[in-house]
Amino acid sequence: MMRQYELVERVQKYDPNADEDLLNRAYVYAMKAHGNQTRASGEAYFNHPLEVAAILVDMKLDAATIAAALLHDTVEDTEATHLELVEKFGPDIAALVDGLTKIKKLDMMTKEATQAENLRKLLLAMSRDIRVLLVKLADRLHNMRTLSHVKPEKRLRVAQETMEIYAPLAGRMGMQVVRDEMEDIAFAILNPTANKMIRERLERLHQESGDLLQGIELALSKSLAENQIVAEVKGREKRAYSIFRKMERKHLALDQLSDIFGFRVLVNNVDECYRALGVVHQKWLAVPGKFKDYISNSKQNDYRSLHTIVIGPHSQRVEMQIRTFEMHDIAERGVAAHALYKDISEAKQAEAGVRIPATESNAYRWLRHLMDVLQEGDSPKEFLEHTRLELFHDQVFCFTPKGQLIALPVGATPIDFAYAVHTSIGDSCVGCKINGRHATLVAKLQNGDEVVIIRSDAQTPPPAWEAIAVTGKAKAAIRRATRADIRKQYTGLGREMVEKLLARQGKEFSEKEMAIALPRVGHRNSDDAFAAVGRGDLVPADLLKAMGLVVDEKDAKASKRKSSKVRDLQEGQFSLPVRGAASNMALKIYPLTGAVPGERIVGIITPGEGITIYPIFAEALEQFDQEPERWVDLAWGVAEEGMRFPARLSITLMNEVGALGQVAQTIGEYGGNIDELTMQARHGVRDFFELRILLEVFDIRHLNEIMNGLRAKPLVNEINRVAG
């Protein structure tokens, strides 16, 4: 256990002006507060906050952050109170500790909802003070290091949460060292077989290629020195989880990976970065299309570097990363490193290749964007889903016609672009141009695309857009607009029903009488009351009675019958699931893809047979591009309760015992039904096989729940809808 004086000495080595008294008081207070508490490993509990503080000392954080690390569990796990921390350590440190304290009591909430609310609180706290995040990540990192001492069920849950939330969050904040260690530990727990296999392969490669790595280091160092470039060259192997991710992404077997080795070239300034790149490309053949310049266009987490892949000795593909020493520091420690450079002049920053914005970095800008999504008022489940989406996606960079840079996740569409510019632009979007040419709203945007959004004030976003959009902001805005549109329809229907009933009484609607009725029916305004009538929650005759009017018994009964029909419609008691087709036309769903309520559909007329329903992404639709007269614009109606619809899925599974059973069990747990199943080996890939499933589900949300549940399984490599 690190002694009190050792902690102070380590902090003062990089910060001679650190508040020694604060560190001493925090150390003593936390040690006394935790007293005789022990962890699952049997060691003294106080060792945990002390190790968290030590991790932050290695990051060279300020004394206040170190003190918060020592105190971070006192309010949650001891008799200490927030007020006591304010009195003894001041409001700033108390606020840091409060941001790290979990919400303990959440009445009638699921474990997932509790997780979401705790994450929501953490994100709000870190948006006010980024040091909350630094302490939280250090806390999670030490918990991961000691995870072997907890029960297997909890170990799996914590590892999964770390892989889904905290490791990507560290990556988004540029803290790559923290992310790497978290992912390595979590990967070994979640997929021990793959982890062991990859590590054994890496060990063999290391033994076989030790001289090769050293030879490349020496040759490159010599070439750089001959060109008067002072550089440090470091050879490295990719991590096990990084290799596994690439195998998943590119559907490769382990022995098919060719660029397992990489080198970092560290130089003094930006000019030398580009000069070093020239030396590398003169010495070895560059692989076409594999050069990326993250110096002129940094990543969202402020990462800056030059990347290239070359054909090295013995035809070995080798990745090269070229950056300045300061860029490397920020690449490793992210926002934790920014404090080192905040007092450097702009001229020296430019010379050293450091770019610390005066207002906010890319990482902070992303955090602010995430806060916008958080404020949309989504349910905890939706918030958690959208946070995961934002954390995991890599990026593409697109431009508005005026040159504004818009960063979006890979796979984003013009719909996501429109909402990224402004919510009102997304809501009124009816079409787009990409690089001057008209394109569909489902097109996937690429790096460098210039996007023009075509708008109409008469447009409202259709609900099917939610399945097309990728970003949490777009999904939340579409859902909100859909709710507003449905409410508007219910309000109009309710007003019409009330006014017709009044007309039968020979009366006109009066806002004054309505104001009297509102408290009696439990609504705040007229629109709320009319919407309740439209939904069938409030009988029109009851509203008129609340207004002090006498309603004929015959009219009251008719009113109740109409209200009942509206309620039946909302609850799914409606037989025709598709709108837009003539009533005498036979309907069938395209069997090679399936189609489910909630996603956008079109119909193709076949004379003598009727209409075939296709999902908008079906590849078969391309054959009808020259026959617009056969196209029918369809929309889903409300299906009968319990009615299921077909959807075909393609699932890539690891070739291991129990993989098929894991898929079937998961589908069953989510209430899906397997109607058809085929299995085949992936061509040229021994470690994976492909599963084709015809699934029966209620709607797109049900389908997405099943697909997300399958994605969470360690043996599932990839899952997609079959496009035909």
DSSP letters for 539-602: -HHHHHHHTT----HHHHHHHHHHHHHHHHHHTT--S--EESS-TTS-EEE-TTTB--TTS-EE
> Residue range 335-355: average pLDDT?
46
Residue 583: per-residue pLDDT = 66
Catalytic, 449? Answer no
Residue 88: per-residue pLDDT = 92
pLDDT at 332 over 50: yes
Give, for 642, the enclosing helix (H) or strand (E). Answer: none
* Per-residue pLDDT tens over the stretch 542-588: 777 777 776 665 555 555 544 444 343 333 334 446 877 776 678 88
- pLDDT tier, 365 (very low <50, low <70, confident <90, very high otherwise): low
Q: Which residue has the higher pLDDT, 335 or 51?
A: 51
Catalytic, 76? Answer yes
> Residue range 4-31: average pLDDT?
91
CA atoms within 13 A on the CB side of 312: 25
pLDDT at 190 over 80: yes
- Beta carbons of 540 and 565 less than 8 angstroms apart: no
Domains of the chain: 4-192 (1.10.3210.10), 194-352 (3.30.460.10), 480-570 (no CATH), 578-636 (no CATH), 645-721 (3.30.70.260)
Contacts of 617 (CB under 8 A, 6+ apart): 442, 593, 721, 723
Q: Which residue has the higher pLDDT, 150 or 359?
A: 150
Residue 22: per-residue pLDDT = 93
Rounded to whole angstroms, the Cα distance separating 369 from 390 reads 10
pTM of the model: 0.53
Lowest pLDDT segment from 195-209, 348-362, 440-454: 348-362
Residue 570: per-residue pLDDT = 36
Residue 505: per-residue pLDDT = 74
The dihedral built from the CA positions of residue 369, 375, 381 and 382, taken in this order, carries a sign that is: negative
Residue 49: per-residue pLDDT = 93
> Residue range 358-370: average pLDDT?
56
Contacts of 472 (CB under 8 A, 6+ apart): 370, 373, 385, 386, 387, 389, 390
Residue 681: per-residue pLDDT = 66
- pLDDT tier, 116 (very low <50, low <70, confident <90, very high otherwise): low
**Roughly how many angstroms between the first and final C-alpha of the chain, as a whole number?**
61
Angle at 367 between CA 366 and CA 371, to 5 degrees: 115
> Residue range 629-648: average pLDDT?
81
- pLDDT tier, 345 (very low <50, low <70, confident <90, very high otherwise): very low
- pLDDT tier, 237 (very low <50, low <70, confident <90, very high otherwise): confident
> Residue range 374-381: average pLDDT?
53
Residue 364: per-residue pLDDT = 58
- pLDDT tier, 501 (very low <50, low <70, confident <90, very high otherwise): confident
**Beta bridge pairs of residue 688:** 654
pLDDT at 660 over 90: no
> Residue range 381-404: average pLDDT?
65
pLDDT at 415 over 90: yes
- What distances in angstroms separate CA 342 from CA 270, 346, 512, one per listed residue? 19, 10, 62
The burial of 627, by beta-carbon neighbours within 10 Å (0-12 exposed, 13-18 middle, 19 or more buried), is given as: exposed
Rounded to whole angstroms, the Cα distance separating 495 from 533 reads 8
Residue 394: per-residue pLDDT = 58
- Beta carbons of 330 and 339 less than 8 angstroms apart: no
Active-site residue (options: 6, 9, 21, 76) = 76
> Residue range 425-440: average pLDDT?
90
> Residue range 418-422: average pLDDT?
90
Lowest pLDDT segment from 116-125, 154-163, 688-697: 116-125
The b/e string for 686-700 (b: 16+ C-beta within 10 A; e otherwise) is ebbbbbebbbbbbbb
Judged by DSSP in three states, 405 sits in strand
- What distances in angstroms separate CA 325 from CA 217, 390, 716, one per listed residue? 17, 29, 39
Residue 235: per-residue pLDDT = 83
Output DSSP code: residue 524.
Answer: S
> Residue range 379-400: average pLDDT?
61
Give, for 536, the enclosing helix (H) or strand (E). Answer: none
Residue 348: per-residue pLDDT = 43
Q: Are strands 645-654 and 635-636 parallel, antiparallel or unpaired?
A: unpaired
CA atoms within 13 A on the CB side of 573: 7
* Per-residue pLDDT tens over the stretch 83-97: 999 999 999 899 888
pLDDT at 450 over 70: yes
The dihedral built from the CA positions of residue 73, 79, 81 and 87, taken in this order, carries a sign that is: negative
Give, for 629, the enclosing helix (H) or strand (E). Answer: none
Rounded to whole angstroms, the Cα distance separating 635 from 579 reads 5
Q: Token pair for residue 631?
A: 């196209």
Residue 107: per-residue pLDDT = 37
Residue 104: per-residue pLDDT = 43
Judged by DSSP in three states, 399 sits in strand
Active-site residue (options: 19, 58, 62, 77) = 77
Considering the chain, what is the average pLDDT of its residues? Answer: 79
Residue 511: per-residue pLDDT = 80
